[in-house]
A and B are shown apart, each in its own frame.
Chain A
């Protein structure tokens, strides 16, 4: 493969990763790392470096539009970022102290459980009884968004703020330990525990992963893990792909997004469990 062909192919793969990432609220590393290492034989260090850049690219690229169109719940994001950043620091501290086998197995089981819970919510999407929510009231987390697919404004109430903070702390630990954006944990936490509509959960998770990834990316850069020749085309591809993902999220019905998300959770969960069984 010539360097030119590599740049073009890495760009195309990244457009796909950026589209999926922006649509589902994930970083896209799940696609970037295997594609770079298995298809293009890029060194794993540089693949991980490019993947952390892709998380930031998905986040910033999609958030330009999600924030402007008020799909991102900024207050929820700011409050939960307290927990994810603290968790990420705990994770960095724990790294090396917890066996990766245990970690992969726990992560795999949690993802499988989330998939089942999200599947059970398929029938009665976005309708839930109002619960008492003193924390969310005090923090003014309730909001509304304009759903393009339904062509109307959807108001929603947030609850379970403390459970949400706890789950985000755990998601932060996983990010710190495994070096991933952990959007696959953040989206179900907001969707299932806090009662945010799925589209708002995806947009808000998207917004949050960029901040955590930026902190790690600085370290990766200083370590010399970010190879411009690999990460450059990936960043541009993901930034452009994210624009397509944003359009898709607006137009698709929540139900379809939920189905894609459940399939992805099942796939990742299987991968994690297999990795845990092998190590």
Chain B
């Protein structure tokens, strides 16, 4: 059990630190590109209402982040954060395999399967 705990904690730490890093850099880049955001109140409405620059696909995010667009770098950090819980389910399966704990390999694999299924269903229904 100790190894499972260490593995999960490490995956979460890496995910959390990476996402904080990307988000902070992205926010700094955004303000560097748009100095008016520091002083003009009018810009806020445009940023927090429909029509704001919101990337929808991983491809968009990667392309715009590579072009050093602030909002896409923030979005990359958010995507890493969203993927972290899935990564920890995956890592715990491997950790339980290493511990030869068959019951929990089965339970955790089922959880992953259900997650992927709900993700797929959500994609269709949403």
Contact = CB atoms under 8 A, between A and B. Distances in A.
Q: Do A and B come from one complex?
A: yes
Contacts of A217: 82
A1 B39 CA distance: 9
Given A68-B6, A223-B126, A89 B43 contact: no
B55 to A, nearest CB: 8
A34 interface: no
Interface string B42-53: 011101111011
Interface in B38-78: 38-41, 43-45, 47-50, 52-57, 71-72, 74-75, 77-78
B74 A228 contact: yes
Interface string A68-82: 101000110011011
Contact of A78 (B23, B49, B81, B92): B92
Contacts of A86: 114
Given A1-B41, A1-B44, A231-B78, A92 B110 contact: no
A232 B48 contact: no
A61 B85 CA distance: 11
B118 A215 contact: yes
B82 A236 contact: no
Contacts, number: 193
B4 interface: yes
A42 interface: yes
A78 B118 contact: no
Interface stretch (A52-60, A126-134, A152-160, A188-196): A52-60
Contacts of B125: 92
Interface in B86-126: 86, 88-89, 92, 103-104, 107-108, 110-111, 114-115, 117-119, 121-123, 125-126
A278 interface: no
Nearest to B103: A139
A-side interface mostly: helix
A40 interface: yes
B56 A222 contact: yes
B107 A228 contact: no
Given A64-B13, A89-B117, A218 B122 contact: yes
Q: How large is the interface on A (under 10, 10 to 19, 20 to 34, 35 or more residues)?
A: 35 or more
A139 B123 CA distance: 34
Given A74-B5, A211-B89, A89 B121 contact: yes
Interface string A233-247: 101100100000000
A74 B82 contact: no
Contact of A227 (B4, B48, B110): B48
B-side binding surface: helix, strand, loop or mixed?
Answer: helix
Interface size class of chain B, counting residues whose CB lies under 8 Å from the partner chain: 35 or more
Given A211-B89, A227-B52, A56 B84 contact: yes
Given A64-B12, A67-B9, A6 B48 contact: yes
A68 B118 contact: no
Given A64-B9, A78-B104, A216 B122 contact: yes
Nearest to B14: A64
24 contacts: A2-B39, A6-B48, A7-B27, A42-B49, A43-B48, A45-B50, A56-B81, A60-B15, A60-B16, A64-B9, A78-B92, A85-B118, A89-B118, A92-B125, A211-B115, A214-B84, A224-B54, A227-B52, A228-B72, A228-B75, A231-B74, A232-B74, A236-B20, A236-B23
Interface of B: 1, 4-6, 8-9, 12-13, 15-16, 19-20, 23-24, 26-27, 30-31, 34, 37-41, 43-45, 47-50, 52-57, 71-72, 74-75, 77-79, 81-86, 88-89, 92, 103-104, 107-108, 110-111, 114-115, 117-119, 121-123, 125-126
